[in-house]
Amino acid sequence: MSVVNYTRTLQKVILNIGPRCYHRWVTTASVALRIRDSKQNFRCRLWCGLLTPVHYQYSTEGNTSKVPSVATWEPVLENQLPPAKQVPADLVDKLERLALVDFPNQEGLVCLKKAIRFADQLHVVDTEGVDPMDSVLENRALYLREDAVAEGDCADRLLQLSKDTVEEYFVAPPGNIPLPGREEC
């Protein structure tokens, strides 16, 4: 069998085993072959040469890949962050009145503090003189269509979606009554 055919069969076998085994096998083989190099005939050298480029395609160790082999992030240390913000009880009440999610218990507070601490990492970035960005389409003019009625007249369908309606009105409980505070609960 010619060297090329033999190599092709060998590759099929090895590539089926898996890249890791292949890498190890080829490394061992090429080392063994190199040791015998002084006695090599042309066929063995050709085989080495043919295998090496294929080896290069599959191994990830010691190659010239542009992919960094170690993580490149710089850890953000606790002392780089601003001091941890306190969340006093009245602030929690205020947040609750704004958010209206009924979450003023201990669990909610813990969650909030973690979120705030995570967000504090923003302050290691220097943003001196940088404009805030509202939208990625900020350089385009907003499309405005003609101020003409295009659709509508679907009051019935929309009212059906609500649980409590009277004629054409959505029914709401009495307003202007503040939420009870934490002491009153």
Q: Which of residues 1-60 bind other proteins (CB under 8 A)?
A: 4-5, 7-8, 11-12, 15, 19, 50, 54, 56-58, 60
Smallest separation, CB 49 to other proteins (Å): 11
Using rule CB under 8 A, residue 170 touches other proteins: yes
Using rule CB under 8 A, residue 65 touches other proteins: yes
Nearest to 87 by CA among 111, 64, 54: 111
Smallest separation, CB 184 to other proteins (Å): 12
Site for other proteins in 75-134 (CB under 8 A): 87, 94-103, 107-108, 111-112, 114-116, 118-119, 121-125, 127, 130-134
Q: Which is nearer to other proteins, 39 or 174 (CB)?
A: 174
Using rule CB under 8 A, residue 185 touches other proteins: no
Separation between Cα atoms, residue 106 and residue 102, nearest integer Å = 12
The token pair at 175 is 């307003």
Nearest to 112 by CA among 138, 89, 81, 146: 89
Smallest separation, CB 42 to other proteins (Å): 17
Select from 36, 39, 106, 145 the one that contacts other proteins (CB under 8 A): 145
DSSP character string of 125-185: S--TTPPP---TTTTSPPP---SS--S---HHHHHTTSSSEETTEE-----S-PPP-TTT-
Q: Which is nearer to other proteins, 31 or 67 (CB)?
A: 67
Residues forming a β-bridge with 165: 170
Smallest separation, CB 39 to other proteins (Å): 25
Q: Residues in contact with other proteins, total (CB under 8 A)?
A: 81
For the chain, the residue count is 185
List all residues 6 or more positions away from 109 whose beta carbon is below 8 Å from its beta carbon: 87, 92
